[in-house]
Amino acid sequence: MNKEDRRKEAASAEDKVIDAIKRSLPNKLVVRTHERYSEVDGFTVNRDTHAVESVFEVKCRNLSMPDLMGKFRCSITIASNKLNSMQKLSEHMKIPSILYTYTMMDGCLFALQITDKNGAWTCRRVESAEKEVPATVGGEPVMRNMSDISMAGCTIVSVNGWTGVI
């Protein structure tokens, strides 16, 4: 699959995730950021009061839930700058931040609170040294600080309608 096809697939998966988030939060508006490569993907807003209630980031991965839980030991790697941006917005806006992770092999959606409304970390996070990673989906490699986030305690919201807690 070429770069353009991978980017289209990633954008399509992200759209599916946003739709699943909307279905799981019927009393909220899910507002996306305008720029595809912004530091965060969007906000949830109270449908009645129009108050911003959380900031979120979406990550899609080419793996299954059993891979995530077994092979990757219930953790996901994400760029530290994304997490730090979520943390700063959380702290400044007094809203929690949420990481949504979508496993593309089986269509499972996970929601994990990253910070509380004061910007304090609520997840286990280990920041690593710089790693060489693609700048974007199918992009050229760049050096970037990455963090491993434990998915322990996340909520499962399936795009197929199944929900649960692990």
CB-CB contact of 63 with 105 (8 Å): yes
pLDDT for res 165? 34
pLDDT for res 135? 66
Cα–Cα distance measured from residue 115 to residue 147, given in angstroms and rounded to the nearest whole number: 15
3-state secondary structure the chain: CCHHHHHHHHHHHHHHHHHHHHHHCCCEEEEECCCCCCCCCEEEEECCCCCEEEEEEEEEECCCHHHHHHHCCCEEEEEHHHHHHHHHHHHHHCCCEEEEEEECCCCEEEEEEEECCCCCECCCEEEEEEEEEECCCCCCEEEEEEEEEECCCCEEEECCCCEEEC
Q: What is the mean pLDDT of the chain?
A: 86
* 10-residue averages of pLDDT along the chain (166 residues): 76 84 94 84 96 95 86 90 95 97 88 97 85 71 88 83 38
Token pair for 88: 């700063």
pLDDT for res 94? 98
pLDDT for res 163? 37
| Domains of the chain, first to last | 3-165 (3.40.1350.10)
CB atoms within 10 A of CB 51: 9
pLDDT for res 121? 96
Torsion angle in degrees (nearest 10) through CA of 138, 111, 77, 11:
10
pLDDT for res 27? 93
